[in-house]
Structure 1
Amino acid sequence: MVIAVIDTGIDAEHVDLDGGKVIGWYDALNGKANPYDDEGHGTHVSSIAAGTGEGNLNTQVGFAPGAALVGVKVLDENGNGSNENMIDGLEWIYNNIDKYKIDVVNMSIGTHLPYIDVEEIIDLINAIDSEGVPVFVSAGNEGDGEKLGRYYDTLTTYAKYTSTSVGSVRDPYEGGWGLSKFSSRGTGSQGPYIVAPGHNIRAAEANSRSAYVTLSGTSMSTPAVAGTFALMYDAAYSTGNSEISFSAFDMGPNDYDKLYGNGNLLGYESIRRAGEYTGSFDNHRTYIRNPEGYIEKGKAVLFPIEVNSSSEDLNVNMLILDENNENLDIVIWEAGTDPFAGDPSTYLIGEEEKMPHEHIRIESPKVGTYYIGVAAIEDSGNYSLEITGYNIDIGE
Structure 2
Amino acid sequence: MPSNQELVDATETLVRTHVLPIDDEFDGDVEAAGGEELRGRLQALARTAGLLTPHGPVDLGGLGLNMGERAPVFEAAGYSLFGPMALNVNAPDEGNIHLLDHVASATQRERYLRPLVAGEWRSAFAMTEPAPGAGSDPGALLTRAVKVAGGWLITGRKRFITGADGAGFLIIMARTSGEPDTPGGATMFLAPSGANGITLVRHLSTMDRSMLGGHCDLTFDDVFVSDDDVLGEVDQGFAYAQVRLGPARMTHVMRWTGAAQRAHEVAVCYATQRKMFGSRLSDLGMAQQMIADNEIDLAATRALLREACAELDAGERASKATSIAKTFSAEALNRVADRSVQLCGGLGISRDLPVAKIARELRPFRIYDGPSEVHRWSLAKRAARQYGQSESPR
TM-score by length of 2: 0.25
Compare the two structures and name the one with the higher helix fraction.
2
Compare the two structures and name the one with the higher strand fraction.
1
